[in-house]
Structure 1
Amino acid sequence: MEDIVRENEEMKQKLVCTVCHDKVRCIVFLPCCHLFACERCDYSTSTCMKCNTIVKERLKVIQSVQAE
């Protein structure tokens, strides 16, 4: 059971916005293609949180999680 709880928490961390830590990430920054922000936090930065590249465009994506 502890493994399932840990795995669930790890999955949540991979999906949650790195700015607010509340909503699901859904904005891809271009040109770097990193996915780190939710729609609410999208314009809180002009550079990518991971690589510091200047964001020229933003693309909204919908993530689908499937069991392996």
Structure 2
Amino acid sequence: MKAIVRVARRWIADERGVTSIEYALLASMFAIAVLGSVVTLKGSLGDAYEMIAAAVTAAVSTAVTTALAMAS
């Protein structure tokens, strides 16, 4: 029984590898946060890019039309 208690106390007091476990936990929490953000914002980001693309296309079209009208 004393041997089991001694081994348990030694195991509890041993702090080797704790830092790597902490870094692994931090990395996993960061990955979960990034994944959650991407999943949450996926639709709205796509809509924003489509809106920007439409605005740029309209601006280029207007600029070309204006330039052609001024050239003639």
Q: TM-score, normalised by structure 1?
A: 0.29
- Relative to its length, the structure with more strand (as a share) is 1
- Relative to its length, the structure with more helix (as a share) is 2
Q: TM-score, normalised by structure 2?
A: 0.28
Bigger Rg, structure 1 or 2: 2
- Structure ranking higher on relative contact order (CA contacts 8 Å, 6+ apart): 1
